[in-house]
């Protein structure tokens, strides 16, 4: 099936199933078998999900914890494959969908910049050219040449996001970016993502903060128990979720809204 040239992402009839194992040791398994208990169970993290995104759209991906948001982003990013259905993307994908993803704990921050950039498709020459800008953005100072295994979660997030936003990508995925780190860095992240959005790249932004989604996105997709419950206008999507937003006219630049950001889920 062919799609228009301005299509950025196609998710068609996608299902992703996971298995929950209740018992891990041989003794636990033996006792469970003797008592007739289930050893495992399966559930659909995503269940027949379909939507299409045009190049340049800014999508707010919303839903309660466990609704399937991060699983969906991992499928779009190619980290996971669907058990059924199709996920198609056009162009280079960048972003931060898990704090410190792609980092080697025994390598230094400097070494991990090159490693993570290579994972995201950047050449060594391109990384060297952007290295100073990446480090300036990350603000990790003297920790640059320390093993990242000694970094705090905030330092992980700063370095990972700094690399991701300097990749020349067509699609940018943002999940858990603002879940850690101090307020000034969160504000800087939001400003950088606005630049990414305004550059014409496709933006997928996972957030629980209504005001941030209003400012960043022009469309909302709501997942409910692995299914698409809503796909449409931003204000209608926020209303559909019944998220508290007592003062919708608040500017998320005041950072109060950003403190509501939660981490990733499945």
CATH of 7-91+170-260, one of 3.90.1170.50, 3.40.50.300, 1.10.8.60, 3.30.420.40: 3.40.50.300
Residue-level pLDDT at 32: 61
C-alpha distance from residue 56 to each of 1, 189, 229 (Å): 22, 19, 23
Query: Which whole-number Å values give the CA distances from 118 to 82, 137, 144, 202, in the listed order?
Result: 25, 19, 18, 21
**pLDDT the model gives residue 189:** 83
SS3 204: strand
The pLDDT of residue 265 is above 50: no
| Helices and strands of the chain, counted as H and E runs | 8, 9
Q: Which pLDDT score, from 0 to 100, does residue 246 have? A: 44
- In the sheet that 84-89 helps form, which strands lie side by side, from edge to edge? 40-54, 7-21, 84-89
Query: What would the pLDDT profile of 173-222 be if each residue is shown by its tens digit?
Result: 987 555 556 778 888 888 888 999 999 999 999 988 888 899 899 999 99
Query: By three-state DSSP, how is residue 113 classified?
Result: helix
Q: pLDDT tens digits, residue range 113-124?
A: 999 899 888 999
Q: How do strand 202-206 and strand 219-224 relate by DSSP bridges?
A: unpaired
* Strand 58-62, strand 219-224: pairing: parallel
- pLDDT tens digits for range 85-134: 999 999 999 887 665 566 889 999 999 999 989 988 899 999 999 999 99
Which residues have CB under 8 Å from 238's CB, separation 6+? 62, 210, 213, 214, 220, 245
**pTM exceeds 0.85:** no
The domain spans of the chain are 7-91+170-260
Strand (E) positions, 125-255?
171-174, 202-206, 219-224, 227-232
pLDDT: which is higher, 139 or 42: 139
Q: Give the pairing type, strands 171-174 and 93-96.
A: parallel
Give me the pLDDT at residue 11, please: 97
Residue pLDDT, tens place only, 27-77: 666 666 676 676 556 779 999 999 999 999 999 999 988 899 989 999 998
């Amino acid at each position: 099936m062919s799609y228009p040239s301005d299509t950025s992402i196609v998710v068609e009839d996608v299902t992703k199933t996971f298995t929950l194992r209740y018992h891990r040791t041989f003794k636990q398994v033996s006792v469970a078998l003797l008592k007739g208990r289930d050893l495992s169970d399966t559930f659909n993290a995503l269940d027949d999900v379909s939507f299409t995104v045009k190049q340049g759209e800014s999508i707010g991906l919303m839903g309660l914890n466990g609704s399937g948001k991060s699983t969906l982003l991992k499928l779009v990013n190619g980290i996971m494959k669907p058990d059924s259905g199709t996920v198609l993307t056009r162009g280079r994908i960048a972003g931060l969908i898990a704090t410190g993803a792609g980092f080697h704990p025994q390598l230094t921050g400097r070494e991990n910049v090159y490693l993570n950039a290579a994972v995201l498709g950047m050449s060594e020459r391109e990384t060297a050219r952007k290295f100073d800008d990446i480090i300036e953005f990350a603000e990790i100072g003297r920790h640059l040449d320390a093993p990242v295994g000694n970094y705090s979660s905030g330092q992980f997030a700063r370095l990972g996001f700094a690399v991701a936003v300097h990749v020349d990508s067509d699609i940018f995925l943002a999940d858990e970016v603002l879940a850690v780190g101090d307020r000034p860095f969160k504000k800087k992240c939001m400003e950088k993502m606005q630049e990414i959005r305004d550059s014409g790249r496709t933006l997928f932004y996972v957030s629980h903060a209504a005001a941030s989604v209003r400012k960043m996105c022009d469309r909302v997709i709501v997942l409910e128990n692995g299914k698409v419950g809503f796909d449409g206008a931003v204000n209608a999507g926020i209303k559909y979720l019944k998220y508290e937003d007592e003062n919708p006219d608040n500017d998320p630049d005041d950072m109060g809204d950003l403190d509501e950001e939660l981490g990733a889920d499945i």
